[in-house]
Structure 1
Amino acid sequence: MTAACSCRSASEAGVSAAARLGVTLGSLLALILAWQVAALLVASPLLPGPPQVVRAMIRASADGELPRNIAITLARVAVSFFLAMAIGSVIGIVLGRSKPLDAVFGPWVLVLLNLPALVIIILCYVWFGLTEAAAITAVAVNKIPNVAVTMREGAAALSRDLDEMARVFAVPRARALRHVVLPQLAPFFTASARSGLALTWKIVLVVELLGRSNGVGFELQTAFQMFDVPMVLAYALAFTAVVQVIEIALIQPLERRANRWRR
């Protein structure tokens, strides 16, 4: 009986996933169709249709420039993202678990959170020069406050009953952190990771546009100077597709695995 229920549940989950995939693909096709219709109605080089953008994408890929610049930008995104997640998570958890520290340093986080990203980028380039380290630092500093605020809320909302249970049963601190604290923080961590990935790559493009000589942001600046709208859209769509693959293939599975303990 249990096996039959399990098989039925797996079958229903497979059908549901297939249905969601079908709806997603249908929605994207409808968007592409609407884009093509709009391009035909406008009939302007400023709004190229999907065929023109695809041709620009093929042209940029022929000499390897598009994949090379995407790889460079992804490397910057990865380093900045992991630095921001690590530092921001530690800060958020510490502030969420300590009211005195939150009272003292919480305003610092809010100041950084509301400081414009462009200001941080400019200051990093002025202070450290137009270097790779300055670019990575600017992106990470922009993202750290967002992670810290999210993780602080998660740490403040931890179940006191579970903490007391761990203390009563004398659970070692490292084991309590792994089996009691971290599972409760998983939804907040995945939420900050999802929003952080989108924010990080957008800031990376601005950093590249202002002070780097390669990457997607630099290529977008070059295409803008040439009024090459198809190339702008080609790079934008190609990089967005790569980030979506990362979201679907990495972040969503990690989120499901982290939330397995929830009923």
Structure 2
Amino acid sequence: MPVFRLPLERLASLGALLVLWLVAAELTGDPTVLPAPWEMVAPAAKELASGALPFHLGMTLWRVAWSFCLAMALGGLIGFAMGRSERVDRWLDPWLVIFLNLPALVLIVLCYLWIGLNETAAIAAVVLNKIPNVAALIREGARALDPQVDAMARVYRLSPLTRLRHILLPQLAPFITAAARSGLAVIWKIVLVVEFLGRSNGIGFQIHLHFQQFDVAMVLVYAFSFILVMLAVEGLVLQPVERRVRRWRAA
């Protein structure tokens, strides 16, 4: 029963949001302030036909993919080292606290000032913003590793690859998936800010352009195009992976 209820609940929730949008658009009574959903079809079709929407969407997705992979890899290594070594944790914990509380906007501006208005600065700004969050989550996972299972691996002299595959990763999987899901949600928002401030393409750049022209419909077209892609990634990739890695706990 729950398997069939969940999609219906999601559809009902999205339907309620659509109704709220329609009511707000009707109360506003001005398409230049808040257009109704059907008033965005023509602008969206025009952007698709011209190729502008696929191009800018692709550039944003490219930056998100690079930033996500780098942040997960570096943050995972740092967090694991901090969780397994008290000395490393004592050294790096002050850094982690500082970067966790450093505003994203400050890092973005500093990267652009120090590196320049280029792709390297854009990716670096996003990665530096996300590494502390990933490290904090993976550190907790590394601290929660079962020492008895680790001792068993040493007794049976398991190879490092076998220990990684059958002992470390299954225990760290919930923390990795949590970091991935929260990381993706945060990263794409930071990427939009990075593009808004200093890139000449991407969804953030287009939102900035149409913001200057007070074109609410086009701002919504580009915003929703990326939101739909992220919802698809969440539903088709991240949630199935999370269910798979948690399956062993219910066995």
Do Structure 1 and Structure 2 share a fold, with TM-score over 0.5? yes
Equivalent residue for 2:137, pick from 136, 141, 150: 150
Deviation digits for residues 192-244 of structure 1 (CA, Å, limit 9, x no counterpart): 10000010000000100111000000000011000000111111111000011
Please name the residue that 2:6 is paired with.
20
Does residue 57 (structure 1) correspond to residue 44 (structure 2)? The answer is yes
- Indicate the residue corresponding to 1:6 in structure 2: none
Letter in 2 for 1:72: M
Alignment of 1:40 with 2:63, yes or no, is no
Q: SS state of the match for residue 261, structure 1?
A: helix
The 5 Å alignment of 1:30-179 reads 30-44=16-30, 45-179=32-166
Identical-pair percentage: 53
Q: Alpha-carbon deviation of 1:260?
A: 2.3
How high is the TM-score relative to the length of structure 1? 0.91
Show structure 1 runs of 5+ residues with no match.
1-14
TM-score relative to the length of structure 2: 0.96
User: Hey, what's the Cα distance between the residues in 2 that align with 1:53 and 1:190?
Assistant: 35
Unaligned runs of 5+ in 2: none
Stretches of 4+ moved more than 4 A in 1? none
The Cα of 1:56 is off from its aligned counterpart by: 2.4
Which residue identity lines up with residue 27 of structure 2 in the other structure?
L
- Structure 1 residues 166-207: Cα deviation after superposition (integer angstroms, max 9, x where no partner): 122222232112211111000000001000001000000010
Once structures 1 and 2 are overlaid, which stretch shifts more, 86-95 or 54-63? 54-63
RMSD: 1.2
2:225 aligns with 238
